[in-house]
Structure 1
Amino acid sequence: MTIRSLIQIIPSIPVSDGAGVKLRRSLGHSQRLDPFLMLDEFASDNPDDYIAGFPPHPHRGFETVTYMLEGEFEHEDHLGHKGHLRGGGAQWMTAGRGIIHSEMPLQESGRLHGFQFWINLPAAEKMKPASYRDIQPEDIPTVAITGGSVKIVAGRFDDTAGPIQGLSTAPLFLDVRLAAGHGFSQAVPAGHTAFLYPYAGSLRVGDDGRELSARQAGVLSQGERIAATAGPAGAAFLLLAARPLGEPVVQYGPFVMNTREEIEQALADYRDGTLTAA
């Protein structure tokens, strides 16, 4: 079984999004990894960095996933969904044809730490009805491993399935914690895109042990298994993998389609108030 190696490191850079939320963006500022479009990390003890949140804004053509480590957000959208996103929980939103939503902090002080990533939808699904799933911390299974633990949001780890299953891109989304010097291994289908994102500590990846530090996205080669070992300070990291779509991507801000004409239609629909029409 071929072990995947670390073939590229994408550093995260400081950016501001929403109404002024300070983030670090790795995927999305210079490149994408089909079907992943973007990965942001937000982490601050200063409420000035996050208090303005993400007021109502539109999306079309992809899925957004938000995962919280600490702090609280409230989601609201035009469909009437209202979600309370707590530390340890996640939200999985399919924009599909169109959704207008907001994500606002439910705190005025304290630490806010979490992630948002975008997964593209295939052309055949870009105009399907929007949907939203609020995943509470107690609904995300955690499996103990030697020297650490694995939380499973999407896909499977060993015999344990996460709450998100059955999507066309077959996403795998794990949050792994390892003590210093301990290892982790996970089978991933050959042909699927995969990368690691340490948010604490560092990793040595693959048979050659190439180092990956915190706040860097590590792109993995093709292969059938991922293997990594925590550095001297331990490690906490996200593992993300999914089936690539191999389709053209045309993006204009919150709209991701396959052609320029489809983007122009999305803009017209938003201006005309029909973006979210059934």
Structure 2
Amino acid sequence: MTQHRKVLSIQAGQPTSDGAGVSLTRVFGGPGVEQFDPFLMLDEFGSDNPDEYIAGFPPHPHRGFETVTYMLEGRMRHEDHMGNVGLLQGGGVQWMTAARGIIHSEMPEQEEGVMRGFQLWLNLPGKTKLSDASYQDIQPENIPRLTTEAGVEVVVIAGRFDDGSVQQMGAVQRPDTEPQYFDFHMPAGSRISPRIPEGHRALLYVYEGTLEIAGQPQAVSASRLVRLSNEGQLQLNSAAGARVLLIAGKPLGEPIVQYGPFVMNTREEIEQALRDFRDDRLTA
């Protein structure tokens, strides 16, 4: 008998704002984030009202984790203290490893139209939290896409996609947390059975349509996050059509101490990060 991954929780995100007043939905993050290990936060942003995004994210610091920004629509310009300048546009990904420290800005490269996408925070293990920062822009044409036999389009951002019939390495591979990050575009009546390593944390975020999960009696509607058990197979169906993020990774099992844009293992390390930022040594 097939053992399916169990649904542990289904939750809606909370409206909030960040940066200089950008409206967004915090899908998860904050107290209790250990249950999402190795992930720390997922934000969804989407608006056609410039007043809700135009102020952007002026220069700000990070330490101890990675940020993954996936744009669906719109244009955002990245600049950082290392001299990197990049344009993030629809279908593209920005993967930034803050590690020891980075100071960067993310500002809209548009004054009208739709700005839509996601930002995921991925933790780093203690052994690499103080390593060198790095940054890469991945243009849409460099992100693998495939269509399964059932007609599901898969955007393979990170890790390796495998459904038993087709395999595809993603644009990014990361050690330690071994993240998988896929975007499924599911037509009405389609199904998909992505293989996820045993022991990996697995999350689903339905951002359009309705999703059915094998073993779960109730369909999952849009703007809902599903947290799954770490073992078993996963079978997804959508009678009406859906767009779904699948995010999975190997838990680090380390203490998580967060203070705003700094995520470390101990309170002492957070205090050191604050001193380093105050003394202009965060990125030294």
Same-fold call, TM cutoff 0.5: yes
User: Which residue of 1 is the match for residue 161 of structure 2?
Assistant: 157
What secondary structure does 1:211 align onto? coil
Q: For 1:21-170, what aligned pairs fall within 5 Å after superposition?
A: 21-32=22-33, 33-145=36-148, 146-158=150-162, 159-170=167-178
1:20 match:
21
Residue 157 of structure 1 deviates from its aligned partner by 1.3
- Please give the per-residue CA displacement for 1:122-142, whole angstroms capped at 9, x wherever unaligned: 000100000001000000011
Matched residues in 1 for 2:214 and 2:264: separation? Answer: 35
Report if the CA contact (8 A) 1:46-1:109 is conserved: yes
Using the alignment, how far apart are the partners of 2:117 and 2:226 within structure 1?
A: 18
Q: Which moved more, 1:251-260 or 1:22-31?
A: 22-31
Letter in 2 for 1:249: I
Q: Whole-Å Cα distance in 2 between the matches of residues 208 and 163 of structure 1?
A: 31
State the secondary structure of the residue aligned to 1:198: strand
Instruction: Report the more deviating stretch, 73-82 or 164-173.
Output: 164-173
Which moves more between the two structures, 83-92 or 24-33? 24-33
- Contact 1:149 / 1:178 at 8 angstroms: preserved in 2? yes
2:174, 2:69 → 1: CA distance?
19
Write the deviation string for residues 28-79 of structure 1: whole angstroms up to 9, x where unpaired. Answer: 0443200110000001010000000000000000000000000000110000
Q: What's the offset of the Cα at 1:210?
A: 3.2
TM-score by length of 1: 0.97
1:189 to 178, 187, 197: 197
TM-score (norm 2): 0.95
Q: Looking at secondary structure, tell me which structure has more strand per residue.
A: 1
Gaps of 5+ in 1: none
Residue 254 of structure 1: how far off its partner (Å): 0.1
Letter of the 1:242 partner, please give it.
G
| 1:142-184, Cα deviation, whole Å (9 max, x unpaired) | 1112232001000111321111014221000000010112111
Corresponding residue pairs, total: 276
1-structure distance, mates of 2:66, 2:23 = 22
- SS state at 1:275 partner: coil
Paired position in structure 2 for 1:11:
12
- Residue 212 of structure 1 and its aligned partner are, at CA, apart by 1.6
Q: CA deviation at 1:209?
A: 4.1
**1:250-261 counterparts in 2 under 5 A?**
250-261=257-268
Percent sequence identity over matched residues?
Answer: 56
Q: Whole-Å Cα distance in 2 between the matches of residues 68 and 93 of structure 1?
A: 14
Alignment counterpart, residue 251 of structure 2, candidates 244, 251, 255: 244
The 2-side partners of 1:147 and 1:100 are apart by: 42
Q: Distance in 1 between matches of 2:152 and 2:171?
A: 21
CA RMSD of aligned residues (A): 1.1
State the partner residue of 1:274.
281
Residue 32 of structure 2 aligns to a residue whose secondary structure is coil
Give structure 2 stretches of 5+ with no counterpart. none
Which whole-Å deviations, capped at 9, do the CAs of 1:179-210 have from their partners, x for residues lacking one? 11211111111111010001100111122343
